[in-house]
Structure 1
Amino acid sequence: MGALASFALVGSPAQALEPYAVAGDAIPAPLGGLVGNAARGRALVLDRTRGNCLICHQAPEPNEPFQGTIGPPLAGVGARLEPGQLRLRLVDASRLNPATVMPPYFRTEGLRDVALQYRDRPALTVQEIEDVVAYLASLRTP
């Protein structure tokens, strides 16, 4: 049995909510039925102002300085997790581990200390989530 959740589709607070279904430890279906682009996803993962993934994770990107060690390494994550599992972790990892330090990239409710200009907006859009999922799923080698 999956749970149904709703979160903002893109950056505008007035937009409709996008439903998705959680099944176990995954969101099996792509958000909005969109197809991700791994190259755009890679750019988001490496972007220190948007995804900012490298603050906590180490990526298989030897030319990127100052990579984190708090989260698990991203090398080989596509071999360890299915796209739906990656999707849920990006959308809201606290659904799997309430004590996680991983920020929810596609949740707008129950957040604290959010700057006014970012309130009622997810950190990443539906397309950006799918792009990051495509990139992470392509990382098959440890």
Structure 2
Amino acid sequence: MRMASLALAGLLLADLPGVGEEMRSYVVTGDALMEPLVGGKGDPARGAALISDRQRSLCTLCHSGPFPDAHLHGTLAPDLTGVGARLSEGQIRLRVVDMKRLTPNTIMPSYYRVADEQGRRVATVWRSRPILSGADIEDIVAYLTTLKG
């Protein structure tokens, strides 16, 4: 029984964002993060799914946009419709990675910073891990850059 519990815990931990991934350092240029966090472009389809996932990315808790379940969209943050026409890929990436660099008092979390570095007490399972992996962020960036209209 104990072995089964340990195996289940291992499977659950393996599914957490950032587990097993080394966080990369990045360079901010002006109001953008020009280089991807992982090699290659993200997948817009995975990004669209993440944007709508109210358990992982939490985007639609505050943002509205051209996403499913419009009745569940938040109104605390800007509508993301057309964000790909307003901002460059690098600007979108920085805003997802760490909006606090641009707007220190924002309620938007820094998705690619270690949670306990942000001065908050966090659950043990999340300590020393970002909210989203670099690949997750690149998927979200790939999707948001398609939103031109």
TM-score bin (small chain)? 0.7 to 0.9
Tell me, yes or no, if structure 1 residue 81 matches structure 2 residue 87: yes
Separation of aligned partners in 2, 1:74 and 1:111: 28
Unaligned stretches of 5+ residues in structure 2:
1-16
CA RMSD for the aligned pairs? 1.6
Q: Residue 25 of structure 1 contacts residue 88 of structure 1 at CA under 8 Å; is this kept in 2? A: yes
Q: 1:21 aligns with which of 17, 23, 27?
A: 27
Would you say how many aligned residue pairs link Structure 1 and Structure 2?
A: 131
Q: Which has the higher helix share?
A: 2
Please identify, of 79-88 and 110-119, the stretch whose mean Cα deviation from structure 2 is larger: 110-119
- Cα distance, 1:63 vs. partner? 3.5
- Cα distance, 1:17 vs. partner? 3.7
Tell me, yes or no, if structure 1 residue 136 matches structure 2 residue 136: no
Separation of aligned partners in 2, 1:130 and 1:56: 20
TM-score of the aligned structures, taking structure 1 as reference length:
0.86
Partner in structure 2 of residue 126 of structure 1: 134
Q: 2:64 aligns with which of 42, 58, 65?
A: 58
Query: Which protein is bigger by CA-based radius of gyration?
Result: 2
Partner in structure 1 of residue 96 of structure 2: 90
Q: 1:68 aligns with which of 65, 69, 74?
A: 74
Separation of aligned partners in 2, 1:130 and 1:58: 20
Separation of aligned partners in 2, 1:11 and 1:111: 21
- Give the 3-state SS of the residue equivalent to 2:24 in structure 1: strand
Q: Which has the higher strand share?
A: 1
How far does the alpha carbon of each residue in 1:2-44 deviate from its partner, in whole angstroms, 9 at most, with x for none? xxxxxxx9324xx644121100000011112331000000000
Query: Residues 17 and 131 from structure 1, CA distance in 2 versus in 1: closer, same or farther, beyond 3 angstroms?
Result: closer
Q: Identity percentage over the alignment? A: 48
Please identify, of 103-112 and 126-135, the stretch whose mean Cα deviation from structure 2 is larger: 103-112
Q: Residue 34 of structure 1 contacts residue 127 of structure 1 at CA under 8 Å; is this kept in 2? A: no
TM-score of the aligned structures, taking structure 2 as reference length:
0.82
How far does the alpha carbon of each residue in 1:34-90 deviate from its partner, in whole angstroms, 9 at most, with x for none? 310000000000001101100000021253432101110010000010010010011
Tell me, yes or no, if structure 1 residue 31 matches structure 2 residue 37: yes
Unaligned stretches of 5+ residues in structure 1:
1-8
